[in-house]
Amino acid sequence: MLVMEAMKMEHVIKAPSSGIVSGLQVTLGQQVSDNSVLFNVKAA
């Protein structure tokens, strides 16, 4: 679902179920804090 880069390392985040990304909450290159919402997902 997502590849996140942190401290020059890439982390693959897998979705637990199918869905459709319905809205991004961040911009490319933006730094985020713990527990930040990155995007919304609607059930497929």
pLDDT digits (tens, 9 = 90+) for 13-26: 898 889 999 999 99
- Cα separation, 28 vs 41, in Å, equals 18
Q: Which residues contact 26 (CB under 8 A, 6 or more apart)?
A: 32, 36, 38, 39
Total residue count of the chain as it appears in this document: 44
Cα 29 vs. chain centroid, distance in angstroms?
12
pTM of the predicted model, to two decimals? 0.65
Question: What pLDDT was estimated at residue 26?
Answer: 94
Q: How is residue 6 annotated by DSSP?
A: E
> Residue 29 pLDDT more than 90?
no
> Residue 4 pLDDT more than 90?
no
